[in-house]
């Protein structure tokens, strides 16, 4: 077990900088998930922790020791790769035990430890097979076994579930979670799948464009997104965003067709803001209900347990998620109602969260 301290870490290639000064503290035994769209630098950050990429600037310390110049094997990290990266010519047992063989562990002890790991991962009956003769989920488990056997200080996962089918992914997810609870080793898990991120993480790190946008528990990230990017990236379907302008006694939305009565709280009149509301925080009511916004239904997506209803709100697309038994026809009019507490405000310029607003019920313009 070990803590990881990342200070102002940068990564640049010949022409471009892909990681811009990341600061992050990972406590011992913590399960941290780095979430972000592809190309956001999350894998690069993970590979810098592992020692597979050089660090262009800043420091990474594991257990207080700066590891910038250390070889991967000296850092005490184990990694699970996206494509498993099993050695195709070795049996499962040889794959799992290879790091011990390299380290010169005697054969008897090696066999014993391989057996122990195989028992944990329920791989005992497969030890003599070659990776080619295994299913995706089994290969994934072998890759985990290969990481576990070294009893590393830090586990690194580089999108390890993205090659599995949906059902297996859910199963492996809970297995990883259980395994972490038992081993309690510091883990860093990189993914672009937000469900994976939300379910696995003790703490979530959301990255975008080589920068950390927000660090927090999954609950915090979901309920109080620190930026417009996080708000729209976390949660499915994505949070609705409406552009608004600060006025003397509130906000005008959608170019002035709707108004929102909120306290101005120090923001200059004319400031552009974005108002966000999660689809699952919107309720459908009868059109014309007082305090509700009327909108036209565009499309209804059936999810089984609920429905996503896409509506047209004065030209802006807006989605509503409901589990109630309502089936509005496309083209019909519905009323949208939401609590002011569920609104999120972001600066239109910088995208950062604005906390000062206290919203009241929206009212239709004039």
Note the residues at the interface with another protein (CB under 8 A).
Answer: 50-52, 71-73, 77-79, 81-83, 85-89, 98-99, 102-103, 132, 146, 150
In this complex, which beta carbon is closest to another protein, that of residue 77 or of residue 92? 77
In this complex, which beta carbon is closest to another protein, that of residue 31 or of residue 155? 155
In this complex, which beta carbon is closest to another protein, that of residue 102 or of residue 269? 102
CB of 149 to another protein, least distance (A): 10
CB of 99 to another protein, least distance (A): 4
CB of 316 to another protein, least distance (A): 44
CB of 46 to another protein, least distance (A): 11
In this complex, which beta carbon is closest to another protein, that of residue 9 or of residue 77? 77
In this complex, which beta carbon is closest to another protein, that of residue 152 or of residue 218? 152
In this complex, which beta carbon is closest to another protein, that of residue 176 or of residue 206? 176
CB of 169 to another protein, least distance (A): 19
CB of 74 to another protein, least distance (A): 9
Please write down the HEC assignment for all residues of the chain: CCCEEEEEEEEECCCCEEEEEEEEEECCCCEEEEECCCCCCHHHHHHHHHCCCCCCEEEEEECCEECCCCCHHHHCEEEECCCCCCCCCCCHHHHHHHHHHHCCCCHHHHHHHHHHHHHHHCCHHHCCCCHHHCCHHHHHHHHHHHHHCCCCCEEEEECCCCCCCHHHHHHHHHHHHHHHHHHCCEEEEEECCHHHHHHHCCEEEEEECCEEEEEECHHHHHHCCCEHHHHHHCCCCCCEEEEEEEECCEEEEHHHCEEEEECCCCCCCCCEEEEEECHHHCEEECCCCCCCEEEEEEEEEECCCCEEEEEEECCEEEEEEECCCCCCCCCCEEEEECCHHHCEEEECCCCEECCCCCEEEEEECC
In this complex, which beta carbon is closest to another protein, that of residue 21 or of residue 76? 76
CB of 70 to another protein, least distance (A): 12
């Amino acid at each position: 077990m070990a803590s990881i301290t990342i200070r102002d870490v940068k990564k640049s290639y010949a022409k471009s900088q892909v990681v811009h000064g990341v600061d992050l503290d990972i406590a011992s035994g913590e399960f941290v998930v780095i979430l972000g769209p592809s190309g956001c630098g999350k894998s690069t950050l993970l590979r810098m922790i592992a020692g597979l990429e050089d660090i262009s600037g800043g420091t990474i310390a594991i257990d207080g020791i700066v590891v910038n110049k250390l070889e991967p094997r000296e850092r005490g990290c184990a990694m699970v790769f996206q494509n498993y990266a099993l050695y195709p010519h070795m049996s499962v047992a040889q794959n799992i035990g290879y790091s011990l063989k390299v380290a010169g562990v005697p054969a008897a002890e090696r066999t014993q430890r391989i057996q122990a790991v195989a028992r944990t991962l329920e791989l005992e009956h497969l030890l003599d097979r070659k990776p080619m003769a295994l299913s995706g989920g089994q290969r994934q488990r072998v890759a985990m076994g290969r990481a576990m056997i070294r009893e590393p200080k830090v586990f690194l996962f580089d999108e390890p579930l993205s090659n599995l089918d949906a059902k297996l992914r859910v199963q492996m997810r809970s297995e990883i979670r259980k395994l972490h609870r038992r081993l309690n080793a510091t883990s860093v898990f990189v993914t672009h799948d937000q469900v994976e991120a939300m379910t696995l993480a003790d703490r979530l790190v959301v990255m975008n464009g080589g920068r950390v946008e927000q660090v927090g528990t999954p609950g915090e990230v979901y309920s109080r997104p620190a930026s417009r990017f996080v708000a729209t990236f976390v949660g499915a379907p994505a949070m609705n965003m409406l552009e608004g302008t600060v006025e003397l006694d509130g906000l005008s939305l959608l170019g002035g067709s709707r108004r929102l009565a909120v306290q101005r709280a120090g923001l200059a009149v004319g400031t552009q803001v974005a108002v966000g509301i999660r689809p699952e925080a919107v309720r459908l009511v009868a059109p014309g209900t007082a305090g509700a916004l009327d909108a036209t239904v565009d499309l209804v997506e059936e999810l089984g347990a609920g429905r996503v209803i896409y509506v047209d709100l004065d030209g802006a697309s807006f989605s509503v998620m409901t589990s109630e038994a309502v089936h509005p026809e496309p083209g019909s009019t519905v009323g949208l109602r939401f609590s002011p507490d569920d609104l999120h405000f972001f600066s239109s310029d910088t995208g950062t969260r604005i906390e000062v607003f206290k919203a009241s019920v929206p009212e239709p313009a004039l």
